[in-house]
Amino acid sequence: MAGDGDDDAPKNISPREGHDIENRARLRARVIYEVVRTEGQEDLDRPPFSLWWSGLAAGLSISFSLLAQAILTQHLPDAPWRHLVASLGYSVGFIIVVLSRQQLFTETTITVVLPLLARFSMRLLGLTGRMWAIVLTANLAGTLVAAAFCTFAPVISPDLRHEMLELSRHAMAHGWWALAFRGVTAGFLIAAMVWLIPSSKGSEFQVVLLLTYLIAVGEFAHIVAGSVEGFMLVLAGEMGLGAMAADFVAPVLLGNITGGTVLFALISYAQVVREM
């Protein structure tokens, strides 16, 4: 390595050792930014048909968060630590969605915004709006189908369905502004998850598990995972569809976008903009 012109390089490092150093080095913020931006640009260029079906799959998959959490809650004793353990179930749906590369709305609050910040144009703005509309609608359609399946199909026991409804009632018990601010935290954590994955180097499972577990144990609000709970209550006749839209979807959507885009995406862009 002595002849590469780098005065800072140690002279006693072999090429193989240098390769090992590169593999173990942490990615710089600019590199992570470029990885996330590139993925966002690729998503923006996907056809609407692909976005729809990927988003629908994500809505169906994320319903396993409520199901797994209810199963754990049902089988754990009524102890002070039950919530801490049962919240692990919440991560199941997110692990399926993220590792399957399905389109989840809250991930797009950072991925497709970075290309827009890097090179603003009306075309990119339109593509971003189109993608948000398609993916969010598809996600909610998927969670509605999943909620209907759990409500009407003879798949889960009445006791398990009762537990899912109990968790849903608890999640919807907060006021408008409380849900909005809880949504900010959840949106920030999902954006942080997206930012961490490029440098996780084979630890993607742990990253998704940790950050989504924190959302569950902290009782923060996620627009897609929470919509399963909302639709369960709607189909059970305990909440009107209009009330769900006004009292849950609106504040949580606002919070998730604020946390993912206004806070995390802008901060992430700001820390690299002078290096570009």
What is the pLDDT, as a whole number, of residue 119? 86
| Per-residue tokens: 167 | 């968790």
Condensed to tens digits (0 to 9), the pLDDT of residues 225-274 reads 999 999 999 999 999 999 999 999 999 999 999 999 988 888 888 887 77
Is residue 53 assigned to a domain?
Answer: yes
Contact 188, 177 (CB under 8 A): no
**CATH number assigned to the domain comprising residue 42:** 1.20.1080.10
Is residue 17 assigned to a domain?
Answer: no
Tell me which residue range forms the domain holding 226. Answer: 29-275
Residues of the chain with pLDDT > 70, as a percent, come to: 90
Of 42, 89, 44, 96, the C-alpha closest to 65 is: 89
pLDDT at 169 over 50: yes
Is residue 23 assigned to a domain?
Answer: no
Residues of the chain with pLDDT > 90, as a percent, come to: 74
Is residue 265 assigned to a domain?
Answer: yes
Span 74-83, mean pLDDT? Answer: 95
Condensed to tens digits (0 to 9), the pLDDT of residues 124-141 reads 999 999 999 999 999 999
Is residue 1 assigned to a domain?
Answer: no
Condensed to tens digits (0 to 9), the pLDDT of residues 18-77 reads 554 455 556 787 888 888 989 999 999 999 999 999 999 999 999 999 999 999 999 999
Is residue 41 assigned to a domain?
Answer: yes
Is residue 100 assigned to a domain?
Answer: yes
What is the pLDDT, as a whole number, of residue 15? 62
Is residue 5 assigned to a domain?
Answer: no
Instruction: Provide the number of structural domains found in the chain.
Output: 1
pLDDT at 17 over 60: no
Backbone angles phi, psi at 219, to 5 degrees: 60, 40
